[in-house]
């Protein structure tokens, strides 16, 4: 026999205890006994059905009217005989057909649930549970929406470790008068709205033609003043068109100045500030270099002709 290490022994012991506890918990199931379903009719007659799980209510059960009272009694227990600590017990009615919940909404299954109370059943002992439903009360009418039809009845029982859904079968419920379909408390979101008629304002009137002409004259006036000032000042342009290096560099320099005007024009139309600075930096370097060369050759031309 090979001895186990202390750590391995602890792990094996833990696994063994876990398996034993799992087996114990797995064997614990909820049982229901002393199940009594009673319909107290308005003429003091009672229809009582005693069931044992998993048997269901008979199909010959008379319809339940809005003048009747329903009472369910049962005693839950565990299969191993230990004390049961019931956390919740609910008797549920679910319509077999669709019911309109709110006007203008899609119909769906109607679920009505009632909580069972401990000690209200007809069974012996403190573990008896039960519930009594007055079908003629206002609260019941509102819960069922006054809808007559077949309902499947289910008893839900739950503890911390186990749960049981006991299908008791189906019953017929008859309410006097038509079903009540409540109106929504808030307006429905998906409903046709009023038609929207767009009214477009008249476009702004164009400026007068004479205003455009005045603006054109104001733009051209400085150029006219500049040309006139050159004429009065006696500007000498006779050497401007002489075939020399000065003419070439001068033409490039004036072209660079014209490019500046075109650049600002593009900035006004489509360029942003960063594009203006980028292209302006490149054009500025070209303008400075070409302008210096033009001035140097112009000065050399004056020295050669001595005027």
Q: Tell me: pLDDT of 208 over 60.
A: yes
Q: Tell me: pLDDT of 28 over 60.
A: yes
Work out the angle between the directed axes of helices 245-269 and 273-305 (0-180°, nearest 10).
160
Return the pLDDT at 142. Answer: 84
Q: Tell me: pLDDT of 284 over 90.
A: yes
- CA 20, chain centre distance (Å): 47
Identify the burial level of 30 via C-beta atoms within 10 angstroms of its C-beta, where 0-12 means exposed, 13-18 middle and 19 or more buried. buried
Return the pLDDT at 170. Answer: 92
Return the pLDDT at 9. Answer: 47
Please provide the average confidence, as pLDDT, over all residues in the chain. Answer: 80
Q: How do residues 64-84 score in pLDDT, each as one tens digit? A: 998 899 999 998 888 776 767
Q: How do residues 133-152 score in pLDDT, each as one tens digit? A: 999 888 888 888 888 889 99
Please report which residue ranges of 28-166 form alpha helices under DSSP H. Answer: 138-144
More reliable by pLDDT, 87 or 262: 262
Return the pLDDT at 166. Answer: 92
More reliable by pLDDT, 18 or 210: 210
Q: What percent of the chain shows pLDDT beyond 70? A: 77
Which helix H or strand E contains 299, and what residues bound it?
A: helix 273-305
Q: Tell me: pLDDT of 190 over 80.
A: no
- Highest mean pLDDT (candidates 108-112, 113-117, 293-297): 113-117
State the Cα–Cα distance between residues 212 and 150, nearest whole angstrom: 85
Which helix H or strand E contains 8, and what residues bound it?
A: helix 6-27
Q: Tell me: pLDDT of 296 over 80.
A: yes
Return the pLDDT at 2. Answer: 38
Return the pLDDT at 106. Answer: 60
Average pLDDT, integer, range 266-293: 93
State the Cα–Cα distance between residues 36 and 100, nearest whole angstrom: 32
More reliable by pLDDT, 5 or 57: 57
Return the pLDDT at 12. Answer: 45
Average pLDDT, integer, range 28-39: 87
Return the pLDDT at 273. Answer: 93
Give the DSSP letter string of 177-213. Answer: SPPP-PPPSS--SSSPPPPP---PPPPPPPPPHHHHH
Average pLDDT, integer, range 4-12: 44
């Amino acid at each position: 026999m090979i001895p186990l290490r202390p750590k391995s022994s602890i792990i094996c012991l833990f696994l063994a205890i876990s398996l034993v506890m799992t087996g114990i918990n797995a064997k614990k199931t909820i049982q229901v006994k002393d199940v009594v379903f009673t319909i107290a009719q308005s003429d003091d007659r009672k229809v009582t059905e005693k069931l044992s799980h998993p048997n269901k209510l008979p199909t010959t059960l008379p319809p339940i009217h809005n003048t009747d009272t329903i009472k369910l009694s049962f005693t839950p227990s565990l299969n191993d005989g230990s004390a049961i600590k019931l956390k919740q017990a609910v008797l549920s009615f679910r319509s077999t057909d669709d019911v309109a919940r709110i006007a203008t909404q899609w119909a769906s299954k109607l679920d009505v649930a009632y909580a069972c109370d401990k000690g209200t059943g007809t069974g012996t002992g403190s573990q008896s549970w039960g519930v009594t439903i007055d079908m003629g009360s206002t609260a019941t009418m509102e819960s069922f929406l006054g809808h007559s039809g077949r309902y499947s009845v289910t008893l839900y029982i739950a503890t911390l470790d186990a749960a049981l859904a006991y299908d008791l079968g189906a019953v017929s419920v008859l309410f006097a008068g038509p079903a009540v379909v409540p109106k929504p408390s808030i307006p429905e979101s998906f409903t046709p709205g009023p038609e929207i008629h767009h009214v477009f304002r008249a476009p702004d009137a164009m400026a007068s033609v004479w205003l455009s002409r005045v603006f054109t004259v104001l733009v051209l006036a400085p150029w006219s003043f500049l040309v006139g000032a050159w004429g009065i000042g006696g500007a000498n342009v006779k050497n401007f068109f002489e075939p020399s290096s000065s003419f070439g560099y001068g033409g490039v320099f004036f072209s660079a100045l014209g490019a500046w005007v075109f650049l600002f024009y593009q900035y006004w139309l489509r360029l942003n500030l960063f594009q203006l600075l980028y292209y302006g930096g490149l054009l500025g370097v070209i303008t400075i270099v070409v302008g210096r060369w033009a001035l140097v050759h112009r000065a050399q031309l004056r020295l050669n002709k001595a005027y």
